[in-house]
Structure formats: structure tokens, C-alpha cells
Amino acid sequence: MRAFLIAFFFFIIVNPLFVGGNYGCKNTDAGYPEIDFLTGRKDLKIVCYNIRFGELASLEEIAEFIKSEDADIVALQEVDVKTNREMAPHQNGKDFITELGFHSGMLTAYARTIDYSGGYYGIGILSKFPFKQTRKIMLPFPQGAREQRAMLIADIELPDGKTISFVSTHLDHSISEVRQSQVQQINETLKDNPYPVIVAGDFNAVPGSPEIKEGMSEWGQACSLDYTAPANAPRVKIDYIFYYPKEKWQVTESKTPTISLSDHLPVVARLKLAD
């Protein structure tokens, strides 16, 4: 009996793979992706996508696109939860953010902006990395606004121990004055933020508009100037990825993939924190 116990404990010590001992290693069993969460890469790949309440694609197709980009953090707009839309009957009753998280293998955060058709309509964030905290800030709803809008702020813990704040937002589509007030709120909320910030969203404003040219002038723009809407024949740019402070970030890549899963094109950028 004593010899058996000695042999048993010796086997545990010399074999680190025994009983789940594969700590921090890449797991390829059952088709799971090879991700080393303990090290990670030094830059962040960001995707911003207005998915138009899933009218033009399945949630599986949207998640597959996100996976194909190997995104680290994703800002989503027009995200439904348990709505019933005549324009998207194949999505009725679905919890978009939970299903997209499941199919992409990412963590999720969600902010309702309005009640709609028996459920919620809002914005979301997908992340490979854990959330320290999340919060929703409602944006101004002045005269002329058509729909309540918000920003969803997530403080995210990166694998190297640093923390950043990542924001998904969707500005009103009515008039410039409304969006200018909403951009002012974004600036007032985030300018004194303790962590470096990335803001990604559908601003419903072109680059030369006051809300972008003046309102976001102190921010760096990570995305290209490619048009983003409508997806089938783009002629305006209204989707952006911004960063602040400018000196804290470096952009290493930006692109606008041509894909027809929504009426918007996604915008994609790689950024890294300055040393």
C-alpha cells in the first residue's frame, strides 16, 4: 500500500498535465481556439459594427465575422434583446448579446437605450478580456432628438495588467445640434478618465461635420476614412474608432472590410498603448 501511494504522488508531481495541470497552455480539444490568455499580444484589435438589429444576417454569421477578424474588443450598435420585429422575423425573441458572446467565445456587456417591440434595443461590447466594471451613461435628449441614446463604458483588464476604458456608443440620427450635445457629453465624461480610452460607434455624422471635426478634435482617429454606409454602395463615413489621450496610443493598422451582414460596413483598427 505504501509503495502504491509513493508511486501515485510521484506520478502527480512529474506529470504536470495530470488532472487539469495544463495551466496557461493552448487548448485545442473540441475545436476551441488557441488563445493564450496569460500573455496575449501587445496590440489590441478593435472592431466597431452597427449590425442593424440582425436584419440582414444570422447571429452566427456576425459572430463568425468577428472570429475571423480575431478581434480583442468589439463595439456593437443596434443590438436587440428579445424583440419582435416584422423586418427581422428570424431574430424574434433572441438575446443578441448573449448569443453573440456564445458564438464568438467572448465576454459580454450590454446597455439598453430604449424599450422596443416587446424587448430592448441598445448597444453592446464583446471582449476577450475581463471587465473590471461597466456603466451606462445616457446621452442628452434635447429638442429635435428622435431617440434616446447612450454610451456603454467598460473598464477592461488587459493581460499585461494594464486597464483601459472601452466605450460603445450610437448617436442620434436626427440633426447635427443634437449630436453636438451628445459629443459634448462624451467629452465631459471621458476627458478626466483615469485610464486610456477608446470610443467606437456609429456617430451618424460625416468627418467634416461639427460634431466630428470640432467635437472630437482632441481625440485621435484610429479608423480609415473609407465610407461605411450604406454597405451595398458606401457613400458616407459615419462609423469611427477614436482614442484618447493621443500620446498614449499608437495605431498600427486600420481597415474597412467589405461585407454585407448589415447596412453598415464594420471598421477595424489595431492599437497599442505607448510604453
For residue 20, name the pLDDT band (cuts at 50, 70, 90).
very low
* Residue with more model confidence, 167 or 22: 167
Distance between CA atoms of 236 and 225, rounded to whole angstroms? Answer: 9
CATH architecture of 44-273: 4-Layer Sandwich (3.60)
Model pLDDT, residue 41: 61
The pTM for the full model equals 0.85
Q: Would the CA dihedral through 275, 223, 192, 190 be positive or negative?
A: negative
Domain spans of the chain? 44-273
User: 133 pairs with which residues across the strands?
Assistant: 155
Position 271 confidence tier, pLDDT thresholds 50, 70, 90: very high
Task: Count other Cβ atoms within 10 Å, centred on residue 34.
Answer: 8
Measured CA to CA, the distance from residue 109 to residue 75 in angstroms comes to 10
Q: Give the β-pairing of 267-273 and 107-116.
A: unpaired
- Of 5-19, 68-82, 135-149, 150-164, give the lowest mean pLDDT range: 5-19
pLDDT digits (tens, 9 = 90+) for 200-245: 999 999 999 999 999 999 999 999 999 999 999 999 999 999 999 9
